[in-house]
Structure 1
Amino acid sequence: MEEQVSKTEFRDAMARVCAPVNVITTNGPAGRGGFTATAMCSVTDEPPTLLVCMNGRSAQCDLFLENHRFCVNVLADDHQELAGYFAGRQADMAARYAAAEWVDMPSGSQALAGAMVSFDCRLTEARLVGTHHIFIGQVIGIRSRADGNALLYFDRNYINVPTQVGSFGG
């Protein structure tokens, strides 16, 4: 019989995985919302598709499902305070959005003006797995910047790694 991995053991192990910090936004008929997530990755490039995971107990879950759209904003190292706001430190959604500059995307969702890159997505599938929804989105628009350093999350702390310019080697 295989041993079970505990929730604590799994969470502690996942804390050792470095991940980009993202603010996921939505805006549509159900209203405007947003949350901070590190669980985001590409799925395929034909068609361009990515996934994001959201706690199913979030009060915003229905908002994202009803709007059928979202925007993944990959944060730069100067967005640490904004990441905290969208992680719940600021409960009022209007105050979260007031803390930064936003650009309307084709879907109606809003992209963070200073994001490293923003992926505007149409929700094509949502699936509940355990405690989280997996949102799969087809990318319908991309907005990016050429400079800056990404904000990362590792060992339960925000970190940043300077972008390397030039070639590897000597």
Structure 2
Amino acid sequence: MMLKVPPPSLDSALDTELDPALFREGMSRVAGAVHVVTTDGPAGPAGFTATAVTPVTDTPPSLLVCVNSSGRSIKTLLQNGVFCVSTLGADDELVAETFAGRRDLNGPDRFTVGTWDRSKADQPRLKTNLVAFDCKVSDARLVATHHVIIGEIIAVTLGERRSPLIYQGRSYHRL
């Protein structure tokens, strides 16, 4: 004989606010590829480190980038309307740290770390990338504390096959 147990009511669980510290700790346990998102144009050069990068569709090719709205680079990226996502290799930790704002370099000075060239869309591209995606902004929305940017991919450049840099447990790791 099988007992039928009613599903738990979610009403009370949905009405309670999740502790942000618990959320951050949970997300710190999720490994993510490390990318540097760069832009250049009428508003000038800028860039930031991101792990919140993911494909959206392959027709048209697009990806999603999330960035804290209090960061200095998001305004520049939105004004320029184009950007490049360079996926970092295991040896690019200093570049990741620099563009994460942990090396006391800002704006154009960040590009003194690493070796850079120009992408097909004339954006700053890290030469040691695993892959680089040139994008034009097709949508941008403010969601709570972050901007969610959808970029339509206009060019892909494949770099050398090598181990990626990942971020997990609030530190960088090499595979």
Counting only pairs closer than 5 Å after superposition, residues 88-107 of structure 1 correspond to structure 2 as 88-89=101-102, 90-107=104-121
Q: Does 1:29 align with 2:37?
A: no
TM-score, length-scaled by structure 2: 0.88
**What is the deviation of 1:16?**
0.7
Q: How many residues align?
A: 161
Please name the residue that 2:69 is paired with: 56
Q: In terms of mean alpha carbon deviation, does 25-34 or 106-115 score higher?
A: 106-115
TM norm structure 1: 0.91
Tell me how far apart the structure 2 counterparts of residues 108 and 118 of structure 1 sit (CA, whole Å).
12
Counterpart-to-counterpart distance in 1, 2:70 and 2:152: 24
The question of 1:43 aligning with 2:68 is answered no
- What secondary structure is seen at the aligned counterpart in 1 of 2:92? helix
| 2:132 is equivalent to residue 123 of structure 1 | no
Counterpart CA distance in 2 for 1:111 and 1:51 is 18
**1: distance between equivalents of 2:113 and 2:31?**
26
Gaps of 5+ in 1: 162-170
User: Hey, what does 2:18 align to over in structure 1?
Assistant: 5
CA distance in 1, matches of 2:94, 2:53: 20
Q: Please give the residue correspondences for 1:134-145 in structure 2 after superposition, counting only pairs within 5 Å.
A: 134-145=148-159
Q: Partners in 2 of 1:105 and 1:113 — Cα distance?
A: 9
Which residue type is aligned with residue 152 of structure 1?
I
Residue 94 of structure 1 deviates from its aligned partner by 2.8
Identity %: 39
| Alignment counterpart, residue 109 of structure 1, candidates 96, 104, 123 | 123
* SS of corresponding position for 2:110: helix
| Dislocated runs of 4+, deviation >2 Å | 90-95
User: 2:100 aligns to what?
Assistant: 87
Quick one: which of 56, 63, 80 aligns to 1:67? 80
Q: Give the superposition deviation at 1:18.
A: 0.5
Which structure has the larger Rg?
Answer: 2
How far, CA to CA, are the matches of 2:106 and 2:169 in structure 1? 28
Q: Tell me how large the CA RMSD over aligned residues is.
A: 1.0
Structure 2: give runs of 5+ residues left out of the alignment: 1-11
Q: Which moved more, 1:89-98 or 1:53-62?
A: 89-98
